[in-house]
Chains A and B, each alone.
Chain A
Amino acid sequence: MGKKMNSILLSLFLVFAFVLSGCSVETKETKATSDATTVNEGTSKATATTAEDTTAANKYAGESLTILMASGDGSNEAVKAAMDKAAEILGITLEYSVVPDDQFLNVINTKGSTGNLDDVIFTSASLSDLPYAEFAELSGDWVSHISDATKSFTLNPDDGTTIMAPFGAESNFGLAYNKAVLEKAGVTLPIKDYAAFLDACKKIKDTGVTPLYISAQENWTPQILLLSSFTTTLLKDDLVTQLSTNKVKPQDVQGIVDIWNNVKAFSTNGYINDDFLSSSHQMGLEAIAKGEAGFYAVTDGAYGEIKTAYGDLIQGVGLTLCPMWNDEADAFVMGNRSARMLAATKNGSKLDIAKAFIDTCISQEVMTVYYDMSPGASPYVDMGYDLTSSEWNQEMKELATQFPTHGDWCNNLYDGTAVMNKFFGEFDLRVQSMFSGKTAQAAVTDWYTAYSESAKAQRVEGF
């Protein structure tokens, strides 16, 4: 009898807790609308809200927008914080649909083709298979300020109108390095080629520290080693045209197999952490922040992650080139256009609100929220305000005076177009498989098999 009483009490308590949390959710909504009205009344808030924003806040207060995101973006705190801030300014609520990454493409295309698309889309620009025809033309002030590097990725490939608003930093990929570890081992930067890199690894290993950290449990980190070094290999011998028209297979090109093999070699040369197969990205960040590893391949988003998790330790970490190439002449700085984009659905019933939302996102107030948590180089120029850019971007900028800058092999603009965009071929899984034991030759062959299959489905000529 006592047990039953207990369980009833417990459940009542939990129901009570749920109801309470429900109340707090509602209070948040009412708080948002009351915030909007306070701004309206002109009470002082140390934020630069323009008159246009206040009228927008006035107009749309109480409305709601649906926003579709992949979990890769949806679980990012900086992204969420920025979106919520923009919603707060406008006085609207956002209903998130966060979809697993590998289903994002399916969901967005199915919904797009049946006219059920959410009001706002938040996506990664490196996806080439988005339903562009469903996106509305955007025309905020910011359109004219988009940087040249990013511009082509915001345009509708069919008619050249701007359909996507870049959000988030233009990125550099490379090797994060621990300054103290390198100093102790006597390693100087920049390292210009693979042989020199192996030398540096040896020096670091001699001081008792893991030279290069690999987190192969994740499927997206090992590929960074190649994403930041593969491009120049493809620029040679007109490979881009040859590969994209299926005249040559990558597994038959020695240069390609060689550079993949340079990466694969780390799985056996003893210069990486022993637990690489089960280590996570978080562990990699911790190792590099605390000086337990010399190098770790990252995107510059890691700057914000290390800063949030480890505070001042970020001062001891820098970003440099990732020299997997054999020939010094192939050295380059990996600089990419902005990774994240916002779009509005053309036939959505709330198109006006969606557009206002996007304009609000590209405002100083919202961008500041994002860049404070995740510093980087803004894809906009001459906006009239400065955003927190990280020391890492500064470092790479300096290196860019010494070496050419290219994007990652998949999104790089070869003669003005991102030709290789269609040939991703599950690149991330291919690189990861090399750490699980596949040879470079086999991994490159798998890459070809995967991308040729996808190219065939996309009816690319030659496949």
Chain B
Amino acid sequence: MKKLKMILPKLIMFLMSIMFIAPIWMVAVNSIKSKAEANLLGMAFPKDGIIHLINYFKVIEQGGILRSFMNGLIESTFSVVIIVLAASSCAYILARRKGKIYNIIFYTFIMGLIIPVAFIPTYLVLNKLNLVNTYAGLIFIFTTYGLPSAIFLYTGFVKTIPRELDEAALLDGCNCFRAFFSIILPLLKPVTVTISILSFIGAWNDTQIPLFFASGDHWALPLSVYNFYGAHEKSWNLVFADVIIIILPLVIIYMIGQKYIVSGMTAGAVKG
């Protein structure tokens, strides 16, 4: 009886994990079929027995994969860096200083979590600044929409760092900036990891923002799907090959950095 109790939860979890893997399997298996067969969306191996690896080559060639990959890398990395620096320093002030104005600023940032993107006005602003279809433009937009949650988490976390540390720094002759960068920021590492990961994934996977504010040459991987997926015409085999390619980078990063990702998120979550 005790053994059953031990095994049962494990069994349930195992079955659940199958549920998580099955969709990915379906994508993988359909990505190596011919167009006609893949469009029938089955789960089995290709009936004609041929593994159509050519799908991947077609996708890489027609989808501009390498460039999309580099675009995603550039746009996501820079946004993350800016978000971390700007949000943490802003949160430091918001958490430490008291006063109505700081409350207002904090809640205005929170509004950023709630209000949906206003595409046309934002586009016009970008246009005025000549930032349409540029890396800088996209990075600024990603940053803007990543700031609210970052500030939310950072503010909560900073509040748990004792003010005595600030006072000690002041006594040592540091000004605000030095105190922040040398002492506080290192202590914020767990939250930084969490935010970096969330913002990176958010920017990497975003399909609405690059679509509107930039053209094909600045798009990241997920948008390459539209090369194979139209209202009139769906080449599922190519779409799925593309999907596998899109998922792969993040999966790899996740598998390598898993320990750090999970521990970073957990530590950030508890204190935040």
Q: A contacts B directly in the complex (CB < 8 Å)?
A: yes
Residues of A contacting B57 with CB < 8 Å? 21, 24
Chain B 213-230 interface mask (CB, 8 Å, partner A; 1/0): 001110100000011111
Segment 199-225 of B: residues with Cβ below 8 Å from A = 211-212, 215-217, 219
Q: How far is the CA of A243 from the CA of B227 in the complex (A)?
A: 38
A110 lies within 8 A of B123 (CB): yes
Min CB distance A77 to B, Å, is 8
Q: How far is the CA of A75 from the CA of B67 in the complex (A)?
A: 19
- With A7-B252, A96-B216, A116-B132 as contacts: A72 and B231 at CB distance below 8 Å: yes
Judge if B27 is at the interface, Cβ distance under 8 Å.
Answer: no
With A76-B232, A96-B227, A280-B234 given, name 12 new contacts (CB 8 A): A11-B255, A11-B256, A21-B60, A24-B57, A72-B233, A77-B235, A99-B226, A114-B132, A116-B132, A283-B40, A286-B36, A309-B35
B36 lies within 8 A of A220 (CB): no
Residue of B nearest to A305 (CB): B233
Chain B 124-163 interface mask (CB, 8 Å, partner A; 1/0): 1001000011000000000000000000000000000000
Segment 87-125 of B: residues with Cβ below 8 Å from A = 120, 123-124
Chain A 79-107 interface mask (CB, 8 Å, partner B; 1/0): 01000000000000001111111110011
Residues of A contacting B124 with CB < 8 Å? 114
A25 lies within 8 A of B232 (CB): no
B226 lies within 8 A of A71 (CB): yes
Judge if A282 is at the interface, Cβ distance under 8 Å.
Answer: yes
Q: How far is the CA of A310 from the CA of B219 in the complex (A)?
A: 35
B216 lies within 8 A of A7 (CB): no
A75 lies within 8 A of B36 (CB): no
Min CB distance A268 to B, Å, is 26
Judge if A292 is at the interface, Cβ distance under 8 Å.
Answer: no
Judge if B61 is at the interface, Cβ distance under 8 Å.
Answer: yes
Q: Contacting A10 at CB < 8 Å: which of B62, B211, B252? A: B252
Residues of A contacting B46 with CB < 8 Å? none
Judge if B66 is at the interface, Cβ distance under 8 Å.
Answer: yes
A220 lies within 8 A of B231 (CB): yes
- With A80-B62, A220-B232 as contacts: A75 and B40 at CB distance below 8 Å: no
Q: Contacting B215 at CB < 8 Å: which of A25, A118, A309? A: A118
Chain A 107-120 interface mask (CB, 8 Å, partner B; 1/0): 10010001010100
B211 lies within 8 A of A75 (CB): no
Judge if A145 is at the interface, Cβ distance under 8 Å.
Answer: no
Q: How far is the CA of A282 from the CA of B236 in the complex (A)?
A: 10
Residues of B contacting A24 with CB < 8 Å? 57, 60-61
Min CB distance A317 to B, Å, is 15
Chain B 50-94 interface mask (CB, 8 Å, partner A; 1/0): 000000010011101111010000000000000000000000000
Min CB distance B88 to A, Å, is 29
Judge if A425 is at the interface, Cβ distance under 8 Å.
Answer: no
Binding site for B on A (CB under 8 A): 4, 7-8, 10-11, 14, 18, 21-22, 24-25, 28, 66, 68, 70-77, 80, 95-103, 106-107, 110, 114, 116, 118, 218-220, 280-283, 286, 309-310
Judge if B182 is at the interface, Cβ distance under 8 Å.
Answer: no
B227 lies within 8 A of A74 (CB): yes
Q: How far is the CA of A159 from the CA of B230 in the complex (A)?
A: 33
B61 lies within 8 A of A28 (CB): yes
Pairs across A and B, CB under 8 Å, 16 listed: A8-B256, A10-B252, A14-B249, A21-B66, A25-B66, A66-B216, A71-B229, A74-B227, A75-B226, A75-B227, A95-B64, A96-B216, A98-B216, A100-B226, A107-B212, A282-B234
Interface centre among B229, B233, B252 (most CB of A within 10 A): B233
Interface centre among A4, A66, A70, A97 (most CB of B within 10 A): A97
Min CB distance B186 to A, Å, is 26
Please give me the 7 A-B residue pairs with the lowest Cβ-Cβ distance, nearest first.
A97-B216, A71-B230, A282-B39, A22-B66, A75-B230, A72-B230, A309-B36
A282 lies within 8 A of B256 (CB): no
Residue of A nearest to B120 (CB): A110
A101 lies within 8 A of B217 (CB): no
Q: Contacting A114 at CB < 8 Å: which of B62, B127, B233? A: B127
Min CB distance B165 to A, Å, is 35
Residues of B contacting A101 with CB < 8 Å? 230-231
Binding site for A on B (CB under 8 A): 35-36, 39-40, 57, 60-62, 64-67, 69, 120, 123-124, 127, 132-133, 211-212, 215-217, 219, 226-235, 248-249, 252-253, 255-256
B133 lies within 8 A of A116 (CB): yes
A7 lies within 8 A of B226 (CB): no
A74 lies within 8 A of B69 (CB): no
Q: How far is the CA of A80 from the CA of B216 in the complex (A)?
A: 15
Q: How far is the CA of A66 from the CA of B217 in the complex (A)?
A: 9
Residues of B contacting A8 with CB < 8 Å? 256
Residue of B nearest to A115 (CB): B127
Residues of B contacting A73 with CB < 8 Å? 230
Min CB distance B33 to A, Å, is 12
B216 lies within 8 A of A95 (CB): yes
Q: How far is the CA of A72 from the CA of B60 in the complex (A)?
A: 20
A75 lies within 8 A of B252 (CB): no
- With A110-B123, A114-B123 as contacts: A71 and B65 at CB distance below 8 Å: no
B252 lies within 8 A of A11 (CB): yes
B231 lies within 8 A of A219 (CB): yes
Min CB distance A169 to B, Å, is 14
Residues of B contacting A75 with CB < 8 Å? 226-230, 232-235
Residues of A contacting B252 with CB < 8 Å? 7, 10-11, 14
Residues of B contacting A99 with CB < 8 Å? 211, 226
Residues of B contacting A21 with CB < 8 Å? 57, 60, 65-66
Residue of B nearest to A84 (CB): B62
Min CB distance B242 to A, Å, is 11
Residues of A contacting B255 with CB < 8 Å? 7, 10-11
Residues of B contacting A96 with CB < 8 Å? 64, 216, 227
Residue of B nearest to A70 (CB): B230
Q: Contacting B226 at CB < 8 Å: which of A4, A74, A282? A: A74
Q: How far is the CA of A71 from the CA of B234 in the complex (A)?
A: 10
Min CB distance B191 to A, Å, is 25
Residues of A contacting B120 with CB < 8 Å? 110
Interface centre among B64, B133, B216 (most CB of A within 10 A): B216
Residues of B contacting A106 with CB < 8 Å? 212
Residues of B contacting A66 with CB < 8 Å? 215-217
Q: How far is the CA of A342 from the CA of B210 in the complex (A)?
A: 24
